[in-house]
Amino acid sequence: MISYISGTLASLNPAFAIIEANGIGYGLFISLQTYTLIQNHQSTKLFTESVYIRDDNPKHYGFATEEERDLFRKLISVSGVGGASAILMLSSLSAAEIAGAINTANVSMLKSIKGIGDKTAQRIVVDLKGKLGKHEGGISQILITSYNKNKEEALMALTTLGFPKIAAEKAIEKAIKQQGVSTENVELLIKQALKNFS
């Protein structure tokens, strides 16, 4: 079992990373949270987890922190939640938001994630409520700080341009969640959000 891979970041997009280590390129599916943390690095270390759909067809996932991997493992322990669904959850919400939604039985927040239906959301709450520990620390705190700051800057820019605050917030959320725009780049976030006004 491989616990982590450390090496040169050979290729990266918001959903997938290739790390070259000792002449081998390891392809790993990643969340938007991990992408945000490693995108400006030439080399990185990702904690790994393999999910077997069939014995001969594993999918390999990478995480910037052990905390995120731990949450991923807990999510895929729930019946009906596979690796793809869990990674989408981690890309749509922060670790703290997921833990908060589960611990407060906020089924509607979980259902807002693409591919998570009512029954699955309820099952996640029933299976994991009270079992997540303190996911407010580690990766979630790092992300929330930059995430909120850059979101606020983008929101301020859009409202300054004359867009209603509620509409601007929705456009920004759509850019982040549906189109995978990183909150690290405020300019790009604003540009993509502008495209989301109907």
pLDDT in tens, 12-54: 998 999 999 999 999 999 998 899 899 889 999 999 999 987 6
Burial class (CB in 10 A: 0-12, 13-18, 19+), 22: exposed
Spatial CA neighbour of 172 closest among 158, 161, 160: 158
The answer to pTM > 0.75 is: no
Question: Following DSSP, what letter does each residue of 9-66 receive, concatenated?
Answer: EEEEETTEEEEEETTEEEEEE--HHHHHHHTT-SEEEEEEEEEESSTT-EEEEEESSH
pLDDT of residue 123: 95
Spatial CA neighbour of 77 closest among 189, 25, 85: 85
pLDDT of residue 18: 96
**Across 94-115, average pLDDT:** 86
Q: Look up residue 136 and give its amino acid.
A: E
Cβ neighbors of 87 (< 8 A, separation 6 or more) are 15, 29, 30, 31, 61, 72
pLDDT of residue 137: 40
Q: What is the mean pLDDT of the chain?
A: 84
Spatial CA neighbour of 172 closest among 145, 143, 152, 144: 152
Res. 83: pLDDT tops 70: yes
Spatial CA neighbour of 33 closest among 106, 75, 87, 70: 87
The proportion of the chain whose per-residue pLDDT surpasses 90, expressed as a percent, equals 40
Q: 6 - beta bridge partners?
A: 45
pLDDT of residue 45: 95
Query: Highest-confidence range of 63-77, 95-109, 146-160, by mean pLDDT?
Result: 63-77
The proportion of the chain whose per-residue pLDDT surpasses 70, expressed as a percent, equals 86
pLDDT of residue 142: 42
Q: How far apart are the first and last CA of the chain?
A: 48
Spatial CA neighbour of 140 closest among 78, 193, 70: 70
pLDDT of residue 173: 83
Q: Look up residue 142 and give its amino acid.
A: I
